[in-house]
Structure 1
């Protein structure tokens, strides 16, 4: 078999693989949005849920989704980025640092329900937070940490070493070089990683069922971190499996479509500026 034939076969295979992935994604979007978009209205998006009567909304759940996401990133970003910088810049190669990296990679593959059970034991029971927004956010931050550490380390290492050496040669301290050279250069990759983490957190349900609960406050918006914090993802699970409202199926379809639109919008709003920034930095090189 000649190299040209092999090249054509490989090209056809890759094109077919891409087409299959696009077709699956298109079917996924059409199926969920086709069933759920007719349910979306201002009253549904901002209204309060109903336990018995039809016509309830998902306003508190939508608010809790973003509130818990914000708190979880508030906890995990400083620690995750700091640990990634330590591994990329300060940590010397040794058996101990290799063990840390292996441990971080292992934690990133742990099922979310395991984190949920751990958060239930630690925050709900041991710390006495009960089912609360703060307990759910703290547990969700544990899920985010391994990914943030790896993303930060790889982003820092992707910056050409000449940048670091030139900064130190000009008299910068390590912290000045990190703050003014490494982090700005690695920012597009960091933003992409944070966006993926945030998108995963928005759709997380197993962790929050065990830590944030399946109920919402009567106050909207309720910023009390000790209040129960059912999110849109957990509400979707609840109405699909245990709800007794007569329009549970329609609420589940609307919640699924809204959750999908929120995740897509969140990724686009952060991902597009990140790509623009990356192109500007590449053009400046």
Structure 2
């Protein structure tokens, strides 16, 4: 009995009541059970000679192609239905976007990181997770993939595609451009913040199951943002997705507010990067030596 009381006392005093905050909470360099990857250089010439660099770009192209193909085709199926109850409706569209992100991030994370979105690439670049060269290459390949994906959907039935808006993003009637911009900023913030949290080095070390489940919260975040903002902007939060649909649809309606679907996601991604890196993790932005 006496031994048990001693164990209780040890357990009660094992952890100090005063917990460290801010940068002190990150611990010293030697007592961490994880290793923070060093910041990527701004330009890495060796990447351009590596097959893995181009393989990653191809993976981003194919993933964004499949993403636009499935999601825009789903939007077209809902648009042609005489009744929203006769098809998957807005919830089905949201599941289509979220589900495809879940599947595609799972498939490509080990090759390219599974960005499938210029805003995600931009946020990770600001956090020094990849070089400027790779970021530009990814964004170009994502945009090309999105254009091809939307083009295939149009090829299936041009009349249906052109008659139902082509899946292009625009600010809905009754909302201002400011409303649309705000919705895109906040929606992208939710997505990119989730990406940072799901791929956090500290969390991966603490919970061994997180790397396997990382695509799940990312896809779920996309699903939830679509539920909230489809009635406002059709939900962009992905400049490549918006550009691909706008180019293939190519009507004035698709280009009037197109700037919102670049400015909003990039601002939201930047805010998420700063919030996670500086506020949540308090990670210093040191250059690689």
What is the TM-score normalised by the length of structure 1? 0.30
What is the TM-score normalised by the length of structure 2? 0.29
Structure with the largest fraction of helix: 1
